[in-house]
Structure 1
């Protein structure tokens, strides 16, 4: 058989967009999906300076700007046959945690700086909503796809500050309701909780003993879980659910990049 025929029979790569792919969890997801064979688009405000391989298609975007967000999806439309996977990871909630020498992250809601609402609700929840709407317009005609919203346990108990809890609870509710409206098209929507992830900021904080990394996850781990979910034949049965990445990994036989199996944290652990 000729190389030409073999190439024609090779199925096209699935197409994924990871928002907030410049660093942290988003960067790890983008790297992991690329390694799993996806054609990956990564968006973010600083994506052009990100430490990413050239195979990841970088789309500079401030997801607070709807026109810039629409432009990202226009690029995907023009450069591929469709969008198979959206991972909403864009998030501005961890910026400026210390201001004028004061740690404002854990301040009561009446002392929270206004920018934290913008970072969590607008750059986080609203950005995920707008991206999901754009993705749904591409996915519904093909009647396939997957939307993953990265969330956390703050949706279910007070962690850190009130705005954080509002944002994560809103993300999980958004997942649940979007799932209802997309189920007739066979498109699942899930909220996925990471554990303690060895992002750049966590590694820096660990130097001073803030975090115990013994049970932590690599940034690529949750991308491995997303890939496994994407290929799970029973994925639609999970739509609208909140899933803990490490628990899904144990169920589907996924390990971290170093071969370990991170523990699935529970609400009690948090």
Structure 2
């Protein structure tokens, strides 16, 4: 992957950070966006751990090259600025649309508001999931697609989840993920004549910082490391049949089995199906 240039949005923590580090471990040049500059900033106001500064330090000993972009994707101008900076410096092969503020403020005034019925959901949650996360995926894809079209090769990955197809406790979440799937499908239609692929990718349960902090509430027996999905994205990029997968919803563990990719600890996560989630 030493000649590959990727962009991962929302990479200061969680799944995005894991994807970025995995691609760096494979030798790619990885541009990463995020709002949180430093660990000191991350600790303010009860924010979750993880920052661009911390990512940069962790990446220092990896073979790839990380390029940090401080960016708040609720501002289209900042999203477009990142694309312009990448265009000025090189090209872009892979875009991973991961930025996701939808899990913030799940507890408000001591109440866990996430599972409320849709009519009781706070309006800010729609703005976070649709107005920021989904819009950022569209705006960033829109900004970088011409680079991929010019090169006649590229891959856009929308990080999605089973909530697109099943009720996962929050109606807005389901709408956002269903839209991410549809966006990837329609992008794929427009991009196919230019040999550029677009997919929606479902992780399983990922051992992010937030999940590990609440490990007692999760069954981690079939969980995935944050880096697992990044190595699978690398496998997808190398797949000579990539264009045949364009427009589809893909499951990380299924692709890993196809590409013979194990997780960082050697475990091979079992691919889950819609029935697994429907049955709890």
For Structure 1 versus Structure 2, the TM-score category normalised by the shorter chain is over 0.9
- 1:137: how far off? 1.6
Using the alignment, how far apart are the partners of 2:70 and 2:161 within structure 1? 26
Contact 2:160 2:201 in 1 (8 A): yes
- 1:269: how far off? 1.1
- 1:70: how far off? 1.0
| Corresponding residue of 2:31 | 41
Match status 1:77 vs 2:67: no
Match status 1:66 vs 2:76: yes
| Corresponding residue of 1:151 | 160
Match status 1:17 vs 2:17: no
| Corresponding residue of 1:6 | none
Contact 1:21 1:47 in 2 (8 A): no
| Corresponding residue of 1:170 | 179
Match status 1:238 vs 2:248: no
Using the alignment, how far apart are the partners of 2:2 and 2:268 within structure 1? 31
- 1:12: how far off? 6.1
Using the alignment, how far apart are the partners of 1:56 and 1:201 within structure 2? 24
Match status 1:205 vs 2:253: no
Using the alignment, how far apart are the partners of 1:114 and 1:265 within structure 2? 32
- 1:47: how far off? 4.6
Q: Please give the residue correspondences for 1:46-195 in structure 2 after superposition, counting only pairs within 5 Å.
A: 46-48=36-38, 49-50=51-52, 51-52=54-55, 53-54=59-60, 55-80=65-90, 82-195=91-204
- 1:16: how far off? 0.3
Using the alignment, how far apart are the partners of 1:79 and 1:174 within structure 2? 28
Using the alignment, how far apart are the partners of 2:156 and 2:200 within structure 1? 9
Contact 2:7 2:96 in 1 (8 A): yes
TM-score relative to the length of structure 2? 0.90
Give 3-state SS (helix, strand or coil) of 2:217's partner. Answer: coil
TM-score relative to the length of structure 1? 0.93
| Corresponding residue of 2:47 | none
Using the alignment, how far apart are the partners of 2:127 and 2:17 within structure 1? 22
Using the alignment, how far apart are the partners of 2:2 and 2:104 within structure 1? 38
Using the alignment, how far apart are the partners of 1:161 and 1:69 within structure 2? 27
Using the alignment, how far apart are the partners of 1:251 and 1:13 within structure 2? 24
Comparing 119-128 with 143-152, greater Cα deviation is found at 119-128
Unaligned runs of 5+ in 2: 39-50
Using the alignment, how far apart are the partners of 2:198 and 2:87 within structure 1? 21
Using the alignment, how far apart are the partners of 1:248 and 1:175 within structure 2? 17
Give 3-state SS (helix, strand or coil) of 2:151's partner. Answer: coil
Unaligned runs of 5+ in 1: 1-10
